[in-house]
């Protein structure tokens, strides 16, 4: 007897995924805007390397709080409520940074922006993973990464166009973030709630109606049945449940992936291009122009990754990224030491390698490897670790570059990538093509 495959409403799936992924766009904006603003902030606030690192990394400290807030809110009030709050925080913090009268106002405002980033970085991929059928899930979650890189590219372009608008150009760079924040807020008002959260909350009729919009009635029925089986006998679980023997292996893999994505070092190229290119004698205009090239390459290779993540699989792409960056960093370190202008080509190659692998695939894996019963808690733990690692990376880079030299800092990142390659090879299993319920046993402890 031939199995009848369910039919899916791809237009609807794409629409709700793209709107949710606008949180990723704002993530990209707040992540990238500092790269264009730093040359101005150095002059405006007289930043040394420690304050420069803290002004950049304060976003991550806020993001840590955002992850904790989002995890609790997602379980109590739903994914949609969390996305609404994140959108409001993005809008308020953009204006606060733009009108900051001094450094001691600017840094708390950037910290608040980080709360929105942390919430979106957890909730957007989790929401997309929960509304997307298994055959589409990798590409749909990768849309979140696509909007992040579009946010980075457009922000870099705007920063470059504003570069000659006087010493207060940085205020416009931050303030313009209020526009996409407002659009995100309006879009989230239209989004349906996650059907998995509705089922967990006992609202089966609403969940069935949404699942029937995503696919046909057979898809809705099978999804509800699968969810019932994985949640059978489960009560509301405490935070400590994420560290239980059965789920701890998956949580540790998620933490390892999250930390490695940051400690691999590529985000210093996104956040500190002016520092890096200044060492080879580039002008301020050229430094800002390089951020545009970085954003363009990032977007191009992210688009390529979206077509490969469900074809080649997650694990091969992660191995390619870790190994490729380890080699490229050695070359970059040597060229920086020689003060060679050709370092730009290899930095762009590193961006492309990362965008094709570690950038999107890490978020896909974090969104899908955890069991239903602890998914929101486990994702919040992994993403919290990711932002902690990002703070350490961005705070230490200016200090390391001054103390041991820029080129030696990239040698350190190369060694970390070698360690990451071994971790992925030994600990990460393939997840492509499996439903979230089937993945319950893939990373489980035995």
Q: How many CB atoms lie within 10 A of CB 72?
A: 15
Q: What is the CATH number of domain 10-191+234-440?
A: 1.20.1250.20
With beta carbons less than 8 A apart as the criterion, state whether 73 and 118 touch.
no
Q: Domain limits of the chain? A: 10-191+234-440
CA-wise closest residue to 140 among 35, 31, 9, 300: 9
pLDDT of 446 > 50? The answer is no
Query: Using CA atoms, how far apart are residues 302 and 399, in angstroms rounded to an integer?
Result: 30
| Backbone φ and ψ of 207, nearest 5° | -65, -45
Model confidence pLDDT, tens digit, residues 105-159: 999 999 999 999 889 877 888 888 888 777 777 777 778 778 888 999 999 999 9
Supply the DSSP string of 25-84, one letter for each residue.
Answer: HHHHHHHHHHHHHHHHHHHHHT--HHHHHHHHHHHHHHHHHHHHHHHHHHHHT-HHHHHH
Rounded Cα gap, residues 302 and 363, in angstroms = 13
Neighbouring C-alpha atoms within 13 Å toward the C-beta of 264: 36
Q: Which residue has the tokens 């457009």?
A: 154
pLDDT in tens, 213-268: 887 777 777 777 777 766 655 555 666 777 777 778 888 999 999 999 999 999 99
Q: For 358-399, how does the pLDDT look when each residue is reduced to its tens digit (9 = 90+)?
A: 988 887 888 778 877 777 788 878 888 988 999 999 999 999
Local structure of residue 167 (DSSP, 8 states) = T
Query: How far is CA 296 from each of CA 186, 287, 318, rounded to the nearest angstrom?
Result: 28, 15, 21
């Amino acid at each position: 007897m031939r199995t009848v495959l369910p039919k899916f409403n791809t237009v609807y799936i794409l629409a709700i995924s793209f709107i949710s992924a606008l949180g990723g766009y704002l993530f990209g904006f707040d992540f990238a805007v500092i790269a264009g603003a730093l040359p101005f902030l150095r002059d405006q606030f007289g930043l040394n390397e420690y304050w420069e690192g803290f002004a950049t990394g304060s976003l991550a400290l806020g993001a840590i709080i955002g992850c904790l807030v989002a995890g609790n809110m997602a379980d109590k009030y739903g994914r949609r409520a969390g996305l609404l709050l994140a959108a409001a925080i993005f809008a308020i913090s953009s204006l606060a940074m733009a009108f900051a009268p001094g450094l001691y106002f600017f840094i708390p405002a950037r910290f608040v922006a980080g709360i929105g980033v942390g919430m979106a970085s957890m909730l957007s991929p989790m929401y997309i993973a929960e509304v997307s059928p298994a055959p589409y899930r990798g590409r749909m979650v990768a849309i979140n990464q696509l909007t992040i890189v579009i946010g980075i590219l457009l922000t870099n372009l705007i920063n470059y166009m504003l570069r000659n608008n006087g010493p207060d150009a940085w205020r416009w760079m931050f303030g313009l973030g209020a526009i996409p924040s407002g659009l995100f807020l309006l879009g989230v008002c239209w989004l349906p709630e996650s059907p998995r959260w509705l089922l967990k909350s006992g609202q089966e009729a609403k969940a069935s109606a949404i699942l029937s919009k995503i696919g046909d009635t057979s898809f809705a029925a099978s999804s509800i049945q699968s969810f019932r089986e994985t949640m059978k006998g489960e009560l509301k679980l405490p935070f400590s449940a994420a560290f239980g023997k059965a789920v701890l292996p998956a949580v540790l893999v998620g933490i390892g992936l999250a930390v490695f994505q940051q400690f691999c070092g590529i985000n210093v190229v996104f956040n500190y291009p002016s520092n890096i290119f200044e060492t080879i004698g580039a002008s301020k205009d050229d430094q800002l122009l390089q951020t545009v090239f970085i954003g363009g390459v990032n977007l191009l290779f992210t688009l390529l990754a979206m077509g490969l993540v469900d074809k080649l699989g997650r694990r091969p792409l992660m191995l390619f990224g870790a190994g490729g960056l380890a080699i490229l960093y050695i070359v970059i370190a040597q060229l920086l030491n020689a003060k060679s202008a050709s370092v730009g080509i290899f930095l762009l190659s590193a961006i492309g390698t990362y965008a094709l692998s570690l950038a999107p695939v890490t978020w896909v894996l974090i969104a899908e490897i955890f069991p239903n019963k602890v998914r929101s808690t486990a994702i919040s733990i992994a993403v919290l670790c990711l932002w902690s690692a990002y703070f350490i990376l961005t705070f230490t880079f200016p200090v390391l570059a001054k103390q041991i030299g820029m080129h030696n800092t990239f040698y350190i990142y190369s060694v970390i990538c070698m360690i990451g390659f071994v971790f992925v090879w030994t600990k990460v299993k393939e997840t492509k093509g499996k439903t979230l319920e089937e993945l319950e046993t893939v990373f489980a402890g035995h």
